[in-house]
Amino acid sequence: MTTLATTKKVFYHGTSADNLPSILKHGLSCNENKLWHCSNDDIYLWSVNAIKDAEQLDTDEEALDYAFRMANESGQIACIYSKDCRVVVLKIELDESEVSIDQSCENMEGRGAVCINRDITIDEIVEIKISTDLSLIKAYFIALMLNNDYFNTDDLTPIELKIGKAFSQAEIYPEDVDDMIEWEDIEILQPA
């Protein structure tokens, strides 16, 4: 019997460091609390190939960098509800036939956002990076989401909302955040 070899493609996922212990033990679960009102029980990813096409990038390296940046931004938003305010970016290899276009809201389709409706195992995660602590600008992340109809602000406290509103007047830019971050690799121990 002949079997067809599948080619794995690269995807990125961003989250907060609160989830790292579980990820290192079990991988990613699709049945977690969601930050977005429009999210289903899927795991949302950034596809390197889809981003290369969507953004008309010339090289694979540009697409990898772009996908990493988008996952980083997703992780920054996850830090809004985290106790450990560090971003975790996962590089994942999956069979492309298992993922579908993210149609959770109108601004995601065609940008390289995809989703998968199953857990991602630890052996599918090929690299994990963790940022420096970003708790100093957590309110800036809140400010970015205050007027986003899709983001779940229901669990923010009144003081978090007030501080977020104050930070909406701050002159902080994405490149300022990038300048704050240093990345460290996390060792992945494959299950025996």
Best CA proximity match to 67, nearest among 81, 55, 78: 55
Q: Is residue 188 part of a domain?
A: no
pLDDT above 70 covers a percentage of the chain that reads 85
169 forms bridges with which residues in the sheet? none
- Considering only residues 4 and 157, tell me which one the structure prediction assigns the higher pLDDT: 157
Burial (CB count within 10 angstroms: exposed 0-12, middle 13-18, buried 19+), residue 90: buried
Mean pLDDT of 88-94: 97
Beta-carbon contacts of residue 40 (< 8 Å; ≥ 6 apart): 104, 115, 117
Number of domains in the chain: 1
Q: Is residue 180 part of a domain?
A: no
Q: What is the CATH number of the domain that holds 106?
A: 3.20.170.30
Which of 71-80, 117-126, 148-157 has the lowest average pLDDT? 148-157
Instruction: Give residue-wise pLDDT tens across range 21-59.
Output: 999 999 998 766 655 444 556 888 999 999 999 899 999
Taking the C-alpha atoms of residue 161 and residue 179, their distance in angstroms, rounded to an integer, is 26
Q: Is residue 184 part of a domain?
A: no
Q: Is residue 91 part of a domain?
A: yes
- Both structure tokens of 81: 């509800």
Q: Is the pLDDT of residue 136 over 90?
A: yes
- Both structure tokens of 68: 């990493």
Q: Kindly report the average pLDDT of the chain as a whole number.
A: 87
Q: Is residue 111 part of a domain?
A: yes
CB 49 within 8 A of CB 9: yes
- Considering only residues 111 and 135, tell me which one the structure prediction assigns the higher pLDDT: 135
Taking the C-alpha atoms of residue 32 and residue 43, their distance in angstroms, rounded to an integer, is 9
Q: Is residue 29 part of a domain?
A: yes
Confidence of residue 7 (pLDDT cuts 50, 70, 90): confident
Range of the domain at 48: 9-134
Q: Quick one: pLDDT at residue 190?
A: 67
- Whole-prediction pTM: 0.89
| Backbone angles phi and psi of 116, in degrees to 5 | -135, 140
Q: Is residue 144 part of a domain?
A: no
